[in-house]
Amino acid sequence: MKFGTLFAYWTQEWHGDYVMYARKVKQLGFDILELSAGDLLLMSDAQIAELRAVAKDLELSVSSNIGPPKDKNVASADPAIREEGIRFLTQIMRAMDKLDSRILAGVLYTCWPYEFIDLDKPAVWARGVESIKKLGKTAQDLGIDLCLEVVNRFETLVLNTAAEGVAFCRDVDLPCAKLLLDTFHMNIEEDNIAEAIRLSGNYLGHLHVGEGNRKLPGQGSLPWEEIGVALREIGYDKGVVMEPFVKMGGRVGEDIKVWRDLSGGADAEEMDTQITASLVYLKCAFTGV
Q: How far apart, in whole angstroms, are the C-alpha atoms of residue 239 and residue 39?
A: 21
Residue of 164, 195, 243, 269 with catalytic role: 243
Residue of 149, 155, 189, 211 with catalytic role: 149
Strands (E) located in the chain:
2-6, 32-36, 61-65, 103-106, 145-149, 177-182, 204-209, 239-242
Exposure string (b/e) for 201-230, b if CB count within 10 Å is 16 or more? Answer: eebbbbbbbbbebbbbbbbbebebeebbbb
Any catalytic annotation for residue 189?
no
150 within 8 A of 165, measured Cβ to Cβ: yes
Residues pairing with 180 in the sheet? 149, 206
Q: How far apart, in whole angstroms, are the C-alpha atoms of residue 227 and residue 210?
A: 12
Q: How far apart, in whole angstroms, are the C-alpha atoms of residue 32 and residue 6?
A: 9
Any catalytic annotation for residue 149?
yes
172 within 8 A of 136, measured Cβ to Cβ: yes
Active site (catalytic) residues: 149, 243
